[in-house]
A = this chain, B = another copy of it.
Amino acid sequence: MNRVLYSLCGSNPARPFSPHCWKVVMALEHKGLAFEEMPRAFTAIPEIEGGATATVPLLNDNGRLVKDSFDIALYLDETYPDRPTLFGGEGGKAMARFVESYSLTVLHSAITRIAVKNIHDIIDHDDQVYFRKSREARLGMPLEEVAAARDEEISAFPAKLQPLRQMLKVQPFIGGDGPLFADYIVFGALQWLRITSGSTHLEADDPVSLWFERCLDLHQGRGRSVTAA
């Protein structure tokens, strides 16, 4: 076995925080596939596997390189069909794309605005230069200006999870009775928020918090292995 997952970290390699990489960590655990996680700094990504990728996650599965979290999940289900499914059939594969799109458009933009300054402060100097430049271009303002509206973003955050909260009235996971990759998609977003900003900023008795805690418990508590900031 030679299976390596390249992920993302700041100054501390023991604290990987990328939402997309966490999706893959959970997917590999779900399939019961042993792997070594190798977190890298933003500016070290172009050096991975001799320049194989501009982004992480990148999976090296016995020499086969696969990037993009959703593509990696599809690859794992196709390559290891005898292990627990990540999608539960073709319909689940398609609808996981809707969950991904919800997470990207509704949650990621909010989390970026809440945590961008926190992320800046936990990465190395070279990464900070790259990160500030690229994020300020994307957000259209200085990071400090984004951070000034942080409390407002935090107040508005719980309402953005209303679709998940409503769904949790009828089943414990997006995958139904148990988790599927769609759960790991939303988990990845909240785990990114928790690790970088110290909290999911949800009430402890919020059904979404209870679901997130269930996800943290999965796979021998893999998600809990990195504490909140």
By a beta-carbon cutoff of 8 Å, the part of chain A in contact with chain B is 85, 87-102, 104-106, 162-167, 170-171, 173-177, 180, 182
Contacts and interface: CB of A to CB of B under 8 A. Distances in A.
Contacts of A91: 85, 87-89, 91-93, 95-96, 175-176, 180, 182
A175 to B, nearest CB: 5
Contacts of A102: 98, 102, 163
Nearest to A163: B102
A105 B166 contact: yes
A97 B167 contact: yes
Given A88-B89, A104-B166, A176 B94 contact: yes
Looking at chain A's contact residues, the main secondary structure is helix
B98 A94 contact: no
A73 to B, nearest CB: 12
A180 B94 contact: yes
Given A104-B166, A105-B163, A162-B105, A99 B89 contact: no
In the A-B complex, the 8 residue pairs with the smallest Cβ-Cβ separation, listed nearest first, are A91-B92, A89-B89, A88-B91, A94-B176, A95-B95, A101-B166, A101-B167, A102-B163
A94 B163 contact: no
Contacts of A105: 162-163, 165-166
A154 B89 CA distance: 37
Given A89-B90, A90-B88, A94-B92, A101 B164 contact: yes
A90 B175 CA distance: 8
A86 to B, nearest CB: 9
Nearest to A178: B94
24 contacts: A88-B89, A88-B90, A88-B91, A88-B94, A91-B92, A91-B96, A91-B175, A91-B182, A94-B176, A94-B180, A95-B96, A95-B98, A97-B167, A97-B171, A97-B176, A98-B167, A101-B163, A101-B164, A101-B165, A102-B102, A105-B162, A105-B165, A105-B166, A106-B163
